[in-house]
């Protein structure tokens, strides 16, 4: 999906260090976050995580209705954490800096009010899969492979993978993913509940565009409230309270009046996010 305006979040660095950019469509409805460290298979460093956090803040402050997360290069979404950047960390450094920064960044991405789509066009291993799992939806190439292989290195997933994989796939599947280091194809990821949609790599952008159109067709505030209600329910919040508050907020918008009028007049609604 093309973008017509772009800004750079964080540092402009050399190719080996990578960079994170944010682009917005001409109508401002879609924000695209691009993590580009293709020469290193988009392996994540503390610097890239901090830049991603800045990109998420940029999007959160924007009027965008949808967020798409992509990575640079071909056939590799992200191979996860850059081993060379954490191999020599002390136990305190691993706890205080590496794990905490990844969690803080991915939690901020997951917590955006706008729905988000990860476009997984190739390998998504370890932290790369955790990045995708932090998005609301994952559109995965049939040729892709996803895995949480950390136990083969002598460690464990550290950026939310155990929690989010369990939420999506269930406890037994999450254990199989983590403990056996099994690699899943796009189709297997869909069957396990880890993918929203699967398409051949050549048709991936079409699948993303189709899902994007469906998400953008809803009233923006209602879509964002719906996302937050579902996330709150998953954390145990009572729907009888939150749905009443959210419904009251929606009732005060012009978009609800437009939606009702469109229903009565048997036409498509034209929402304005007001």
The pair of three-digit structure tokens given for residue 99, joined into one six-digit string: 């794990």
Note whether 80 and 44 are within 8 A (CB).
yes
150 as an active site residue: the answer is yes
Distance CA 215, CA 218 (A): 6
Distance CA 197, CA 140 (A): 6
Compute CA distances 43 → 15, 21, 104, 209, whole Å: 12, 16, 18, 26
Residues paired with 15 in a beta bridge: none
Q: To which residue do tokens 């997984």 refer?
A: 120
- Catalytic residue from among 15, 50, 74, 130: 130
Distance CA 14, CA 36 (A): 11
Angle between helices 171-179 and 161-169 (to 10 degrees): 130
176 as an active site residue: the answer is no
Q: To which residue do tokens 């940029």 refer?
A: 58
- Catalytic residue from among 150, 167, 188, 214: 150
Distance CA 3, CA 90 (A): 41
Buried b (16+ CB within 10 A) or exposed e, 63-89: ebbbbbbbbbbeebbbbbbbeeebeee
Cβ atoms within 10 Å of 60's Cβ, excluding its own: 16
Where in the sequence numbering do the catalytic residues fall?
130, 150
């Amino acid at each position: 999906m093309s973008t017509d305006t772009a800004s750079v979040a964080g540092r402009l660095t050399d190719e080996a260090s990578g960079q994170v950019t944010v682009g917005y469509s001409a109508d401002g409805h879609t924000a695209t976050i691009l993590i580009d460290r293709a020469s290193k298979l988009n392996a994540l460093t503390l610097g890239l995580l901090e830049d991603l956090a800045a990109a998420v803040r940029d999007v959160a402050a924007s009027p965008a209705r949808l967020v798409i997360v992509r990575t640079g290069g071909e056939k590799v979404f992200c191979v996860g954490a850059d081993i060379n950047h954490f191999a020599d960390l002390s136990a305190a450094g691993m706890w205080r800096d590496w794990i905490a920064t990844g969690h803080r960044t991915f939690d901020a991405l997951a917590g955006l009010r706008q729905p988000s789509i990860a476009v997984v066009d190739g390998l998504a291993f370890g932290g790369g899969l955790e990045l995708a799992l932090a998005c609301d939806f994952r559109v995965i190439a049939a040729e892709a492979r996803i895995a949480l292989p950390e136990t083969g290195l002598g460690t464990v997933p550290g950026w939310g993978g155990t929690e989010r994989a369990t939420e999506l796939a269930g406890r037994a599947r999450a254990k199989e993913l983590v403990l056996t280091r099994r690699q899943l194809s796009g189709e297997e990821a869909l069957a396990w509940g880890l993918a929203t949609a699967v398409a051949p790599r050549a048709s991936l952008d079409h699948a993303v565009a189709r899902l994007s159109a469906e998400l953008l067709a809803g009233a923006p505030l209602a879509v964002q409230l719906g996302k937050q209600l579902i996330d709150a329910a998953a954390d145990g919040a009572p729907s009888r309270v939150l749905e009443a508050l959210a419904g009251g907020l929606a009732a005060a918008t012009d978009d609800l009046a437009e939606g009702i009028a469109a229903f009565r007049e048997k036409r498509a609604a034209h929402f304005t996010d007001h």
